[in-house]
Structure 1
Amino acid sequence: MWTRYGSSWLWFLTFLSHRVLAGELVDGYMGGDVILPCVGGPSSTTQPTVYWRFQHNRNVFDVIEGAHTLQTQDPQFKDRTSAFPAKYSKGNFSLLLTNLSSTDAGQYSCYIIKANIQRDVTLQVKAKPTTDIMTPGHSDSTDDRTPKTPLLLLSLLGSVLPHLYR
Structure 2
Amino acid sequence: MFPRFCFIFVLTLLIDAVSLHQVVEGVEGRSVTLKCSHRHILLEDKPLTVHWRHNDIRNVFDIIHGRFSVKEQDPVYKNRAEVLLEELKGHVFLKLTDLQLSDEGTYLCFVPALGIFHSTQLVVKEQTLPKYAAVRVQVRSHGTGTRLSRTLHLLIPLSGLILHFI
Range into which the TM-score falls when normalised by the shorter chain: 0.5 to 0.7
State the TM-score, normalizing by the size of structure 1: 0.63
Change (3 A) 1:60 1:45: closer
Change (3 A) 1:55 1:33: same
Paired-residue identity, %: 30
Which one has a larger percent strand, Structure 1 or Structure 2?
2
Unaligned runs of 5+ residues in structure 1 are 1-15, 134-141, 145-166
Shift of 1:104: 0.5
Q: 1:48–1:88: 8 Å Cα contact kept in structure 2? A: no
Unaligned runs of 5+ residues in structure 2 are 1-12, 133-157, 161-166
Deviations 1:73-113 (A, max 9, x none): 011111101112343331x1110000011110111000022
Number of residue-to-residue matches in the alignment: 119
1:120 aligns with 119
1:77 aligns with 77
> 2-side partners of 1:42 and 1:109: how far apart?
17
Spell out the pairing of 1:82-97 with structure 2 (5 A cutoff): 82-90=82-90, 92-97=91-96
Which fold has the larger relative contact order, with Cα–Cα distance below 8 Å and residues 6 or more apart in sequence? 1
> 2-side partners of 1:53 and 1:105: how far apart?
12
How much is the aligned-residue C-alpha RMSD, in angstroms?
Answer: 2.4
Kindly provide the amino acid, as one letter, of the partner of residue 30 in structure 1.
E
1:64 aligns with 64
State the TM-score, normalizing by the size of structure 2: 0.63
Misfit runs of 4+, over 4 Å: 129-133
2:51 aligns with 51
> 2-side partners of 1:96 and 1:44: how far apart?
18
> 2-side partners of 1:125 and 1:36: how far apart?
13
Q: 2:28–2:100: 8 Å Cα contact kept in structure 1? A: yes
